[in-house]
Structure 1
Amino acid sequence: MNITAHCIVKDEDRWVWFALQAVLPFVSQVLVFDTGSTDKTAEIIKLINSPKIVFEKKVLKDKGALSILRQEQLKRTQTTWFLLVDGDEVWPEGELAKLIAQTDESPSNIKATFNYMRNCIGDIYHYLPNSTGQYQIAGQKGNLNIRLIKKTPTLKVEGVYPLEFYKDAAGVIQEQPENLLFVDCWYLHTTFLNRSSHQTLSKTSGSLGKSKYPELGISLSEQELPAVFFEKRPEIVGDPLKRRDQRYVLAAVILTPIIYLKRLFS
């Protein structure tokens, strides 16, 4: 199964090396557009020695232009399927292999597959429960996302960031449950961790300007973590394995019950 990865980044030098390294063994090509990074993102991407990566810098005039860039990536895709990869999304090898295998075996009517994402909280060893997610896809609700999409003749991208969407002649892909397949796999999403070395916030901060109060989360063992976190990396790439400090844990112990009750009754 040949796949092209689509990646658009800006100021994501904390995670982009891991995000790209994790998908490289599974794809034929990675189209990476940088929309104006001021940290070390571009420098790090250029250090990845792979002919699969096509890296270009783009000017993003406004948020609406992001859909134009995604449309350009779609137009340049020569494979039947493409994988959406953000600079803060890191796949464990076995999970991505499962997604691709089940997609490859899916019926011909399937236009996209969706899966879980584990939103890290505090560090990469902890993530929020699926019940905290508000995304609704094909009758399911949780921390879900469409990541593999079939390139059909009428497929195009519309909408304004962060609410872009893919649609074809039959309508919005996400609103066609009969053409969607759920795969029980996951990737790590560091949206609530600092994604750039330029960030110095005391709270965890995400790609949409979101912030999260300290929370305990569900524990991940080292065996479950993406293998790329343990690979030799360039010195310019930061250590992903740093654990949250005791001050964070103490605050999380106090706040987690309050946050849980608020979710329960909201």
Structure 2
Amino acid sequence: MTERRILGRNDSRKSFSAQEHTKLRQQMLDQTPKEFTWLMILDGDEIWPTKSIKKTTQYIRKNPQTDSVVVRTHNLVGDIYHRLPESAGHYQIAGHKGHLSLRFINLKNTPGLCVKKPHGQQGYFDGQGTLIQDRDPKKIKFIDVYYHHATHLQRSATKSADRQVTKRAQKLKHQLGKKISKTQIPKVFFKSHPKIVPSVTLKAPLSFWLKSILLTPLRYTKRLLLPVNTSGY
């Protein structure tokens, strides 16, 4: 279910407020067929390797007693070939810490499922008002696979256009990244595409890495000295 389908094809807005974003997610949830067992949360900047999605879907088909599924994320920096180190991840879910994300929710086991709070603090809650990731940890399955998250990359034709999107300016990040193995990069990045679609395979320019060399030590120092905000951004 996409925003365009929810809003109608004639809605040409390029950006939505934090509150509107939550309303859209709730509308998508409301229109999800009730006979479905599992809900997959998938944003437009998330790319799953084939092995990761196969392993995860195989698990949920065989384990209907599980309430939700958490996986790792490769948060890309600079280009599709680098990611933030795991030490930079601060999320803690069901006994695990790092770059984590809850991406599957069992609809049958979660009565009253709804979306609350503005984008940035947004979350999925059960009918009792409990965040899904704060429910019984024994029923939250951690699967050690990953998807690639382009949240820190420029996603519009120009930087100025990117900054028009809600909270995009603060997400663009200059930081030295860990090189991703070629075998871990999704093959879809390299498939042929229409000319109107920009290539995502270009490497980050030298200027990006020079700026990152200056800023990365400051980010590490900030992480050590200041408490981590785990409630959103």
What interval of TM-score do these two structures reach, taking the shorter chain for normalisation?
0.7 to 0.9
User: Could you tell me which of 159, 163, 188 is aligned with 1:228?
Assistant: 188
Per the alignment, in what secondary structure is the counterpart of residue 148 of structure 1?
Answer: strand
Say whether the 8 Å CA contact 1:114–1:146 is kept in structure 2. yes
Residue 120 and residue 175 in structure 1: after superposition, are their counterparts in 2 closer, same or farther (change >3 A)?
A: same
CA distance in 2, matches of 1:64, 1:119: 25
Say whether the 8 Å CA contact 2:115–2:125 is kept in structure 1. yes
User: What letter matches 1:190 in structure 2?
Assistant: A
In the TM superposition, what is the alpha-carbon distance from 1:61 to its structure 2 partner?
Answer: 7.1
Instruction: Compare 82-91 and 249-258 and name the one that shifted more.
Output: 249-258
- Taking structure 1 as the reference length, the TM-score comes to 0.71
CA distance in 1, matches of 2:152, 2:38: 29
CA distance in 2, matches of 1:226, 1:206: 27
- Taking structure 2 as the reference length, the TM-score comes to 0.79
Aligned to 1:13: none
User: What letter matches 2:29 in structure 1?
Assistant: L
CA distance in 2, matches of 1:76, 1:182: 27
In the TM superposition, what is the alpha-carbon distance from 1:112 to its structure 2 partner?
Answer: 1.1
User: What letter matches 1:172 in structure 2?
Assistant: L
Aligned to 1:106: 63
Written as runs of structure 1 = structure 2, the 5 A alignment for 1:130-209 is 130-152=86-108, 153-170=111-128, 171-176=130-135, 177-199=137-159, 208-209=168-169
Count of paired positions: 216
User: What letter matches 1:174 in structure 2?
Assistant: Q
CA distance in 2, matches of 1:65, 1:250: 37
Per the alignment, in what secondary structure is the counterpart of residue 260 of structure 1?
Answer: helix
Aligned to 2:230: none
In the TM superposition, what is the alpha-carbon distance from 1:64 to its structure 2 partner?
Answer: 2.1
Aligned to 2:229: none
Aligned to 1:245: 205
Deviation by residue 1:99-125 (Cα, 9 ceiling, x = unmatched): 2122223351x2210111111111110
In the TM superposition, what is the alpha-carbon distance from 1:238 to its structure 2 partner?
Answer: 0.8
The root-mean-square deviation of aligned C-alpha atoms, in Å, is 3.0
Aligned to 1:43: none
Identity among equivalent positions (%) equals 32
CA distance in 1, matches of 2:95, 2:138: 11
